[in-house]
Chain A
Amino acid sequence: MRRFTPFAAFVAAVIAIAVIGATALAASRGPLGPTSAYVSQTLGYDVQLPGGWRRSTVLSTLVHNGTLKVGHEVFTIRSAADETGVLNDPGPGAAWSYVAVVEQWRDPAGWSALAWATDPLLAGWAQGQVVESTTIDGHVAAKVTNGPRFSVAYYVQDAGRMFVVGYKVDAPDWKPSAATDADLRAIVASFHVSP
């Protein structure tokens, strides 16, 4: 019994700390509220964010990436403090897990969504990726599942622009506890090109 006691105390302490940590994490996010609209004036779209989701300031950027890309915005359920924490440890890969992303690219050549999505230089390529024609926000679009950059991504062509709307769930070890695939799908499904 004497040999068991320290171990039992340690397990109890770990459980206690886990409960305290989870409570603190939940508190840092605040209560999950109703869906809210996020309107991007710069990139020209809007999405509906489920309660607790927000635009990530540190993961979003409007810097041209030396190519046709104009910029991207990232949506996360992590609190700003939680996001800062995981960026430091374990690292950016964790912060980028379970996020929804909207990218805008210039499309001066007027590529179709399907042509863009299947071009390895523009969209990348992964063995086993599935590319399908679909419709999103009333636009003819291409859906890519298990691509090299997104778990699921939609390519949406609109007036000289190509939007890439997707989400990443490719690192389950780093899933925020409150994040759900359903939330991610809902954000992507709500994508709407602003007039």
Chain B
Amino acid sequence: MPKRLASALRGSVVALCVLTRLAFVGTPAQAAYGGLRLPFPPGRAYVVTQTPGAYQSCARGAGSHCIGNDVWAYDFGLRIGDQIAAAHSGTVIRYVAGFGIGSCDPAFRNDANYIVLDHGDGYSSIYWHISYASASVAPGEYVAQGHPIADAGAAGIVCGNPGDHLHFAVEPTPADGVSVQRSVQLRFDEAGEPAAGTAAVSANRPRFSATYVGGSEWVVLGNGERRATAGLWRNTGWESWSQSTSRIGTFGPEPAQDQPSVLTGTNRVGQSQAVVAPDQVASYPFALVGPSTPGIYRVYLRPVIDGITWMEDQGVFWLVDRR
């Protein structure tokens, strides 16, 4: 073969290999997909053991995040039994949880346990390698951001001993619900695009959390005069609030914790709605009554799920100027 032809062929082979790789590594999105929190409970931190951009190391034979649906995936160093939390709200559209073990052997590719949540905006998040029968969600269930998904595990293709970790990615939601898609570039609200070896602390939603919305008043009342009012708090946790346990309660400094207020005659005010889902606003209606003795009175109220936990104290109070 003439030298020039051989050289041209070698050059073409290189070009073709480059083109082939480019076809599989996926194209960076215009902007990283956002609105995500780290996929584990708030306050916890796990080391990023593999990042997107691993295609740079894949060219050197290292890493596994090299191809379409894995290119923009993150691996987090969760151990078997560690809780995985929803990075984004969504509906469960795929659910496999019936496999016990994994291996680096490619024969285990189709034996991975995983959950997929459809965010409802054209994208889905995928949580791989969950433990056998550990899913905290049901097929078709809608869950809020922060809701437990499952326990981490090692089912599917996992390398190492036991190789347990969480493989997390965001992909376009396929029209048929199941076709393998290319993952997209993503960023977490509290950690951006974390680097390998770092361990950012999750600021994902807790089970119960409340943010004051409004309703506090400063009113002038006469002796025995009544004023209807209501406090409003947004549910910023992942669990819905039920009328049977959701309250605002006295917590000090005026009156002291769990003591009845002279303004309301009680230490608790109940939620008006039967159920308040995450991101909805709960209303706690009550009446202020002017005391018999003139003076300045306050009732500080803090949201509580009775029998479970107090939620954030944001120093919210109602003030009555009894003249």
Task: Report the separation of the CA atoms of residues A17 and B16 in the bound assembly, to the nearest whole angstrom.
Answer: 8
- Are A96 and B70 within 8 A (Cβ)? no
- Are A93 and B109 within 8 A (Cβ)? yes
- Are A148 and B95 within 8 A (Cβ)? yes
- Are A13 and B111 within 8 A (Cβ)? no
- Are B109 and A59 within 8 A (Cβ)? yes
Contacts A146-B176, A148-B178: A61 and B97 contacting too (C-beta < 8 A)?
no
A-B contact pairs, 14 of them (CB 8 A): A61-B108, A67-B98, A74-B107, A92-B109, A120-B95, A124-B97, A125-B94, A126-B95, A127-B91, A127-B139, A128-B176, A128-B178, A148-B96, A173-B24
B179 at the interface (CB under 8 A from A): yes
Task: Report the separation of the CA atoms of residues A127 and B175 in the bound assembly, to the nearest whole angstrom.
Answer: 11
B140 at the interface (CB under 8 A from A): yes
Closest 6 CB pairs of A and B: A66-B100, A13-B12, A90-B67, A124-B96, A61-B107, A127-B93
Contacts A65-B111, A91-B70: A149 and B96 contacting too (C-beta < 8 A)?
yes
B179's closest neighbor in chain A, by CB? Answer: A170
A112 at the interface (CB under 8 A from B): no
- Are B106 and A87 within 8 A (Cβ)? yes
Beyond A65-B101, A96-B110, A127-B94: 4 further Cβ-contacts under 8 Å?
Answer: A13-B8, A93-B180, A124-B94, A124-B97
Task: Report the separation of the CA atoms of residues A147 and B179 in the bound assembly, to the nearest whole angstrom.
Answer: 10
- Are A121 and B106 within 8 A (Cβ)? no
When distances are taken between beta carbons in the complex, the residues of chain A under 8 Å from B64 are: 91
B6 at the interface (CB under 8 A from A): no
Contacts A14-B16, A67-B100, A128-B177: A94 and B106 contacting too (C-beta < 8 A)?
no
Question: Interface code B126-142, partner A: CB below 8 Å = 1, 0 otherwise?
Answer: 00000011000011100
Which residues of A are in contact with B by a Cβ distance under 8 Å?
9-10, 13-14, 16-18, 21, 58-61, 63, 65-67, 69, 72, 74, 87, 89-97, 101, 120-129, 146-149, 151, 168, 170-173
When distances are taken between beta carbons in the complex, the residues of chain A under 8 Å from B140 are: 127
Contacts A18-B16, A122-B98, A171-B180: A90 and B139 contacting too (C-beta < 8 A)?
no
When distances are taken between beta carbons in the complex, the residues of chain A under 8 Å from B11 are: 13
A87's closest neighbor in chain B, by CB? Answer: B106
Task: Report the separation of the CA atoms of residues A60 and B106 in the bound assembly, to the nearest whole angstrom.
Answer: 9
When distances are taken between beta carbons in the complex, the residues of chain B under 8 Å from A122 are: 98
Which residues of B are in contact with A by a Cβ distance under 8 Å?
8-9, 11-13, 15-16, 19, 21, 24, 58, 64, 66-70, 91-101, 103, 105-111, 118, 132-133, 138-140, 157, 176-180
- Are B95 and A92 within 8 A (Cβ)? no
Task: Report the separation of the CA atoms of residues A93 and B108 in the bound assembly, to the nearest whole angstrom.
Answer: 11
Contacts A124-B95, A126-B95: A66 and B132 contacting too (C-beta < 8 A)?
yes
Partner of A125, one of B9, B105, B139: B139
- Are B101 and A66 within 8 A (Cβ)? yes
Partner of B95, one of A10, A58, A125, A146: A125
- Are A69 and B99 within 8 A (Cβ)? yes
Task: Report the separation of the CA atoms of residues A12 and B106 in the bound assembly, to the nearest whole angstrom.
Answer: 37
When distances are taken between beta carbons in the complex, the residues of chain A under 8 Å from B67 are: 89-91, 93-94
Contacts A90-B68, A93-B67: A59 and B96 contacting too (C-beta < 8 A)?
no
Partner of A173, one of B68, B99, B108, B157: B68
- Are A59 and B106 within 8 A (Cβ)? yes
Task: Report the separation of the CA atoms of residues A94 and B69 in the bound assembly, to the nearest whole angstrom.
Answer: 11
Interface centre among A10, A59, A65 (most CB of B within 10 A): A65
Task: Report the separation of the CA atoms of residues A127 and B140 in the bound assembly, to the nearest whole angstrom.
Answer: 7
- Are A90 and B98 within 8 A (Cβ)? no
Task: Report the separation of the CA atoms of residues A21 and B103 in the bound assembly, to the nearest whole angstrom.
Answer: 33
When distances are taken between beta carbons in the complex, the residues of chain A under 8 Å from B179 are: 170-172
Task: Report the separation of the CA atoms of residues A109 and B111 in the bound assembly, to the nearest whole angstrom.
Answer: 22
- Are B95 and A67 within 8 A (Cβ)? no
Task: Report the separation of the CA atoms of residues A71 and B94 in the bound assembly, to the nearest whole angstrom.
Answer: 23
When distances are taken between beta carbons in the complex, the residues of chain B under 8 Å from A93 are: 67-70, 109, 180
How distant is A174 from chain B, measured CB to nearest CB, in Å? 8
Task: Report the separation of the CA atoms of residues A144 and B130 in the bound assembly, to the nearest whole angstrom.
Answer: 23
How distant is B316 from chain A, measured CB to nearest CB, in Å? 42
How distant is A181 from chain B, measured CB to nearest CB, in Å? 14
Contacts A66-B132, A120-B95, A147-B178: A59 and B100 contacting too (C-beta < 8 A)?
no
- Are A127 and B177 within 8 A (Cβ)? yes
When distances are taken between beta carbons in the complex, the residues of chain A under 8 Å from B103 are: 63
- Are A89 and B96 within 8 A (Cβ)? no
